[in-house]
A and B are shown apart, each in its own frame.
Chain A
Amino acid sequence: MSNGASSGGVLADSASTRTFLWVCMGPVLVFLLIVAIAPMTLAIVDSLRELSLTSLTKRGQFIGLDNYRDLIATDSKFYAAIAHTAIFMAVVVPVEFVLGLMIALWLNREFAGRRLVLTIIMIPTMIAPVVVGMIWRFFLMPSFGVLTVYLNRIGLFEDTSVFSGPVTAFGALMIIDIWEWTPFIMLIMLAGLSAVPRAPIEAATLDGASRWQILRHIELPMLVPLIIIALMLRAIDASKIFDTIHVLTGGGPGNATEVIATFAYRTNFLTWNLGYGAAVCLVLAFASLVMAALFYKIVSGKAPTQEAA
């Protein structure tokens, strides 16, 4: 992204400017060195070692790329976690998008108490994900959870709990994610819709255009940049889902709801397989760098028009 700095003028190169530049950028450079560069370097070194805190034989011998080879060539649990994450994203992101857009289209008007209404709708997105997880755990608790009780009354889940079956557990996690994040999409779409100029819509209405035609030919095209941002942010966040799954299923039953983040967490901090875990983390970090590059390109692609204003 071009940072739009003036290369000439009074703020141009001089000794005091250069000093000030170091004052500005020095702290962030030191900071990144401590929290990003150093940790990553250490992780790369450890990923080349056989290191486990629970094994007496794995004391940190260098084994080259064996951890990576084992992970990429043979670890079926790793691929299962990737598959689960991909399925999860493929379901929740489109559903959240359609629902969020529909709600935004419908709420895009002035009414009394709008601020309070939006605050309430944003509750699922804004409260801590771990609290979301606990709320739903309480809601769906076997036998006594209020939702379980009402589901039982209509004859569902009478002999089994929602989180004991692989399919129902995964489905429940998806529904909870949709509950949690649809408001996020709605908020972005609402921001976009309120910026759509009224004139073309009014003109189209006078010409007899239907609501659908207005949406299809006027509103949606104008929303495209925002839709891309919303979908990308949602996809990135969905790929990282951890808190609610950690609290609700811990990746179970079996490994039915094991996603990338819970897999990496288990490898490192439950089985303490740190060498192998470091390899997992670095593969994930690399994949996310590619995602970040894509996101950066798309977001900065639309930046010049925004900054030209």
Chain B
Amino acid sequence: MLRRNWVTFLVPLVLLLGVALIPYIWILLASFKERVDLITPDPKWVFEPTVVNYVEIFGRGFDVFLLNSIIIGFSSTALTVIVGTMAAYGFSRFKIPAGNHLFFLILATRLGPPVAYALPMYLVFDAFGLVNSHFAVILAHATFNLVLVVWMMRSFFNDVPREIEEAAYLDGCGHFRVFWRFAIPMTYPGLVAVMIFVFIFSWNELLFALILSGGETRTLPVMIPSLVLHTGTLWGQVAAASIIQSIPVLIFIFFIQKKLVQGLTFGAVKG
């Protein structure tokens, strides 16, 4: 009986994992294939592996785009987390005049189609000569991630009992010291998860980067489709770049799994 239960569980499980994983596995295999093994009417599941694709993408400026993605990811994460956490603490601890409207405005920046906000941003950045700069993309990514930080951190701060902070305050700690020495350490695990989320969303983002970056400031998600050339697609390089781009994401989802559902729903669902 127990054995049969295992079979009826394992068979669909393997099928499910196959559906989720095979397209990804196929691109992983492709990244280690020579051109003759890539473009063939007879799909090769077994072949002689090569790292030539991983070497060649660096000849196409992959290192520059990788660095851009890292710079933009870290900078926009730092900016969003600092601005968003302060605001979240304010929302959690104090009565903010017109707070509801502000809260709603922050939400609205994320729920609309990014392209509707990308053009207005393009107009502003263009006016200041900032198009094709890291700065433009950093600001844009920080904008659509702000709601995530504010909503999640606010819910974490709400979970921290106020009494400790009030006692510290009565002992003569200033507000900022209370925030820094008590509120932040108590929400630290959540804060780390939020940072990881913000980083991944920036790391994966295409539209803003496509519009606001260019030439030497392009990010990986902009670079990968640019390998589709008029003369044919460099599939080996697309595969190699896609694999490298997705590795940090896979590592992160394994480690922040408990917070995954919370991050994907702006903190509306607790895992």
B86 CB contact (under 8 Å) in A28, A133, A138, A150: A28
Question: Could you say which residues of chain A place their CB within 8 Å of the CB of B83?
Answer: 27-28, 31
Question: Could you say which residues of chain A place their CB within 8 Å of the CB of B120?
Answer: 39-40, 42-43, 278, 281
Q: Is A43 touching B86 in the complex (CB atoms < 8 A)?
A: no
Q: Is B254 touching A188 in the complex (CB atoms < 8 A)?
A: no
A282 CB contact (under 8 Å) in B23, B116, B268: B116
Interface residues of A in 24-56 (CB under 8 A from B): 24-25, 27-29, 31-32, 34-36, 38-40, 42-43, 46
Give CA–CA (A32, B80) in the complex, Å.
12
Q: Is A135 touching B249 in the complex (CB atoms < 8 A)?
A: no
A288 CB contact (under 8 Å) in B106, B113, B121: B113
User: Is B39 an interface residue when CB atoms closer than 8 A count as contact?
Assistant: yes
B24 CB contact (under 8 Å) in A123, A133, A226, A242: A123
Give CA–CA (A43, B127) in the complex, Å.
12
Question: Could you say which residues of chain B place their CB within 8 Å of the CB of A260?
Answer: 113
Expressed in whole angstroms, the minimum distance between the Cβ of B255 and any Cβ of chain A is 9
User: Is B245 an interface residue when CB atoms closer than 8 A count as contact?
Assistant: yes
Q: Is B17 touching A121 in the complex (CB atoms < 8 A)?
A: yes
Expressed in whole angstroms, the minimum distance between the Cβ of A227 and any Cβ of chain B is 11
Q: Is A134 touching B238 in the complex (CB atoms < 8 A)?
A: yes
User: Is B154 an interface residue when CB atoms closer than 8 A count as contact?
Assistant: yes
Interface residues of A in 119-171 (CB under 8 A from B): 119-131, 133-139, 141, 143-144, 146, 149-150
Give CA–CA (A251, B20) in the complex, Å.
26
Question: Could you say which residues of chain B place their CB within 8 Å of the CB of A292?
Answer: 104, 107-108, 111-112
User: What's the tally of chain B residues with a CB closer than 8 Å to chain A?
Assistant: 105
Give CA–CA (A260, B268) in the complex, Å.
27
Q: Is A39 touching B175 in the complex (CB atoms < 8 A)?
A: no
Question: Could you say which residues of chain B place their CB within 8 Å of the CB of A229?
Answer: 265, 268-269
Nearest residue (CB) in A for B38 is A144
Give CA–CA (A6, B92) in the complex, Å.
9
Give CA–CA (A307, B206) in the complex, Å.
36
Q: Is B107 touching A296 in the complex (CB atoms < 8 A)?
A: yes
User: What's the tally of chain A residues with a CB closer than 8 Å to chain B?
Assistant: 107
Q: Is B206 touching A149 in the complex (CB atoms < 8 A)?
A: no
Give CA–CA (A260, B249) in the complex, Å.
28
User: Is A295 an interface residue when CB atoms closer than 8 A count as contact?
Assistant: yes
Q: Is B93 touching A5 in the complex (CB atoms < 8 A)?
A: yes
Question: Could you say which residues of chain B place their CB within 8 Å of the CB of A24?
Answer: 86-87, 89-90, 94
User: Is B57 an interface residue when CB atoms closer than 8 A count as contact?
Assistant: no
- State the main secondary structure of chain B at its contact with A: helix
User: Is A174 an interface residue when CB atoms closer than 8 A count as contact?
Assistant: no
User: Is A221 an interface residue when CB atoms closer than 8 A count as contact?
Assistant: no
User: Is B225 an interface residue when CB atoms closer than 8 A count as contact?
Assistant: yes
User: Is B47 an interface residue when CB atoms closer than 8 A count as contact?
Assistant: no
Give CA–CA (A21, B87) in the complex, Å.
9
User: Is B192 an interface residue when CB atoms closer than 8 A count as contact?
Assistant: no
Q: Is A179 touching B19 in the complex (CB atoms < 8 A)?
A: yes
Give CA–CA (A16, B206) in the complex, Å.
43
Question: Could you say which residues of chain B place their CB within 8 Å of the CB of A36?
Answer: 105, 109, 117, 143
Which of B12, B225, B250 has the largest count of A CB atoms less than 10 A from its CB? B225
Expressed in whole angstroms, the minimum distance between the Cβ of A196 and any Cβ of chain B is 14
Q: A-side interface residues toward B, CB under 8 Å?
A: 1, 3-7, 9-11, 16-17, 19-21, 23-25, 27-29, 31-32, 34-36, 38-40, 42-43, 46, 103, 106, 111, 115-131, 133-139, 141, 143-144, 146, 149-150, 179, 183-184, 187-188, 190-192, 226, 229-230, 233, 236, 239-240, 242-243, 246-247, 260-261, 264-265, 268-269, 274, 277-278, 280-282, 284-285, 288-289, 291-293, 295-296, 299, 306-307
Extra contacts, 7 of them, besides A36-B143, A39-B124 (Cβ < 8 A), are A16-B175, A40-B120, A128-B221, A134-B224, A138-B239, A240-B114, A306-B270
Q: B-side interface residues toward A, CB under 8 Å?
A: 9, 12-13, 16-17, 19-21, 23-24, 26-27, 30, 38-43, 82-84, 86-87, 89-96, 99-100, 102-109, 111-117, 119-124, 127, 139-140, 142-143, 146, 150, 154, 158, 162, 165-166, 169-170, 174-176, 179, 200, 203-207, 211, 220-221, 224-225, 233, 235, 238-239, 242, 245-246, 249-250, 253-254, 257, 260-261, 264-266, 268-271
